[in-house]
Amino acid sequence: MRIKAAVAHELKKPLVIEELELDEPKQGEVLLRLVASGICHSDDHVRVGNYPTPLPMVLGHEGGCIVDKIGPGVTKVKEGDHCVATWMPADHSCPYCVDGQSYLCDRGAGLLDGCMLDGSYRFHTLDGKDVGQMHYLGTFSEYTVVPEDSVVVIDNDLPLEKACIVGCAVPTGWGSAVKRAQVKPGSTVLVIGCGGIGTSVVQGARLAGARMIIVADINDDKLEMMKTFGATHFINNAKENLKDKVHDLTQGRGVDYAFEAIGTKKTQAETMEVTGKGGTSVFIGNESFFSESLPTSPEHFALWSKTLLGVLYGGCNPSTDVPRLLQLYKDGLVNLDDMVTKEYRLEQINEGFDDMLAGKNIRGVIRFD
C-alpha cells in the first residue's frame, strides 16, 4: 500500500514528507493506522547524527494507533484494537525479560538498525529502495508495520492523541522517579528540564510522596506550567545560579534525588553538584552516543557517598506499566492532557521539531485523523 510519511534522508536536514510503499505484515507483525505520534528529542538525535543510525529512515517512536491488519501467527492483538506503540518489542524469554527487566530485552540490540526483527524492511521508496523505521516503529507515518510485541492494547475509550505519549516520555520520566530511583515519601527532588520526560519525573515524584519538587529550566512559561503537575519550587537556571538556589532551598544540604532530563554535560555536572550527601543522581537525557566521559568528579562518590544511576525507559516494562499509567490517568493521578501542549499535522513536522528545540512545548503531537 502507498502511505505518506516523514523521512530523514540527510543528517541535520528537515524531514521530507513523501509517499512510500509499505509492505503487508509478515509473521508475527501487525499493520497499524496511526492516530497520533509524539515528537521526542530522540527523534532529533537520529536526525542530527547523535545516534549511529543509517538513513533514510521514517522517524517517530511514540504512537497512538488502531490495529488495521494482523499478520500470520499473531495472537496478542486483533483488528480494531486500540493500542500504544512502544519501542521495546520485548520477547519475554531472554534472561532480562525473565528477570522482570523487559526494557533491557536482547532485542534492543537492533533498535538503531532501522530494519525489522528479521533484518528486512517494510518501507520502500516508490523506486524500490529500502527505508528504515526508527526503533522498529516509524510512527511519523499514516500507517506502519511493527512486531506484535511492540503493541500494548489499551481501552477504546482512551484518547489516542494523549495516550500516545505513554509510549516513551511518560514511562521514561515517571519510572525514573518511581521505579529506578525509588523516591521516598518526604524526600526532596530536583528535576532539570521541563519537557515531556522532566514533567513525567515531576508527576512520579509527586505520586511517590516527595515533599519538595524543585524544577529548573530556562523557559519561564514552562516553569509556570509545572505548577499544574506538582512542582513546588522553580528555578530559571539561565537567570539564577542553580547550585546556590538549590542549597538555599535545602538549608545547604542539597536534594535527596536529582534528575537530569536534558542531556548536556553542563546540566549533568550540575545534577551531581546539587545532590546531597548520600543522595541519588539520575541521568535520563542523552547528548550523544559518541560522548566518552562523564562530567563529574570522583569526590562525589568517594567522599560524599552519592549514587549515580543510568536509566532506560524509566525501568518500566511496557506490557504492564503502560496500562498502569493509563489507569492512573483515568483516575486523575497522572495528567496527560496538559502535557500535550500543541498538535501538528504531518506536513508541519519540521515546525514541531523547531518548537521542541526552542523549548515551546512540553510535548508536541502529530495528529493524523
Which of 196, 182, 167 minimizes the C-alpha distance to 309?
A: 182
User: What is the chain's Cα-based Rg?
Assistant: 20
Which of 252, 262, 257, 253 minimizes the C-alpha distance to 285?
A: 262
| 3-class SS of residue 114 | coil
Whether residue 178 contacts residue 187, with contact meaning beta carbons closer than 8 Å, is answered with no
Which of 81, 107, 237, 78 minimizes the C-alpha distance to 163?
A: 81
How far apart CA 218 and CA 220 sit, in angstroms, is 6
How far apart CA 73 and CA 350 sit, in angstroms, is 38
Pull the grid cell for residue 276.
Answer: 546531597
How far, in Å, are 74, 321, 338 from residue 151 at the CA level? Answer: 11, 13, 25
Beta bridge partners of 30: 70, 146
Catalytic residues: 40, 42, 45, 61, 168
| Backbone phi, psi, residue 145, to 5° | -110, 130
**Parallel/antiparallel/unpaired status of strands 29-39 and 63-70:** antiparallel
How far apart CA 12 and CA 316 sit, in angstroms, is 31
Local structure of residue 149 (DSSP, 8 states) = G
Beta bridge partners of 188: 212
Please give the full DSSP string across 287-324, using - where no structure is assigned. S-TT----S--THHHHTT--EEEE-SGGG--HHHHHHH
